[in-house]
Amino acid sequence: MSRIAWGLALALASPTALAQGRPWLDAELGAQVVGRHLSYHEDLFARLSTYDLTAAPGLYGRAVIYPGALTASPIAGMFGLSLGADVLLAPDSRAANGAAVPVRAWGYTAGLRVRLPAGMPDVGLDVAYVAQRFTLGRTTPTLDAGVPGVAAQSLRLGASGRFPVSDRVAVTGRAAWLAVLDAGTAQGLYFPRQTSNGVEVAAGVAVVLWRGLEARAGVEYRRYFSSVNPEPGDPYIVGGALDQYVTGTLGLALRR
């Protein structure tokens, strides 16, 4: 049996990796509540609608896997693969004429995490591809709701960490810059010369329930800011847009 197979068997059989603070797996599933506020400034023709979603439920899952932590190499154990996905179960919105406008919202991430060597705090650097979609009704310029759809693709560059408070409790934090690679065709139909970027911060608490099983709660804030760069003749003339998301999460995690 290979070293990796032996390491995997030992990790599943005992909480040793958790006790050493160097887990090979950190996986979380749970429920979320999301709020959104989209606004514009200098809307010359007043043709665009702001959008407010106070709170809508959803589901999420995310994991970081460190294959090298199952080997004897301390360097290999520093590198992890991160994955995540979420979906929002938002109710229909309403157009100005009272018609129901379906809301479709989901996202996913895939990236890398590099943490500090063994014996040091669980702090690391994160690089990830982030896809986020939030659309109302049809993704065309004649959208009844008057709200551009979001189909953003971004590169997340940031740092995250976990800091023990006691043997059973830890606090977590994350901060990142979102370099928007593509605002998506839905957004481009409204603002073809738009440029966007964003920031993201998060904080949470984790409580160990039993042998690496944790209960977690957290709050996340994501903010996109856009320059529309309008030109004469454009159907929508605005100075810029601000799109903000606040998410509360509650879930269970396995940390081995």
Strand ranges, E, within 165-194: 169-182
Q: How confident is the model at residue 141 (pLDDT cuts 50, 70, 90)?
A: very low
- The CA distance from 188 to 184, in Å, is 6
Domains of the chain: 3-255 (2.40.128.90)
Cβ-defined contacts of 5-14 (< 8 Å, 24+): 7/69, 7/70, 7/71, 8/70, 11/70, 11/256, 12/256
Range scoring the smallest mean pLDDT among 78-82, 93-97, 220-224: 93-97
Whole-number average pLDDT of the chain: 82
- The CA distance from 90 to 59, in Å, is 11
Q: Which is more confidently placed, 101 or 37?
A: 37
- Read off the pLDDT of residues 158-193 as tens digits, 9 standing for 90 and up: 999 999 999 999 999 999 999 998 876 545 567 767
Cβ atoms of residues 120 and 90 within 8 Å: no
Direct distance between the N- and C-terminal alpha carbons of the chain, in angstroms, rounded to an integer:
21
- Read off the pLDDT of residues 123-138 as tens digits, 9 standing for 90 and up: 999 999 999 998 876 5
Average pLDDT for 19-34? 85
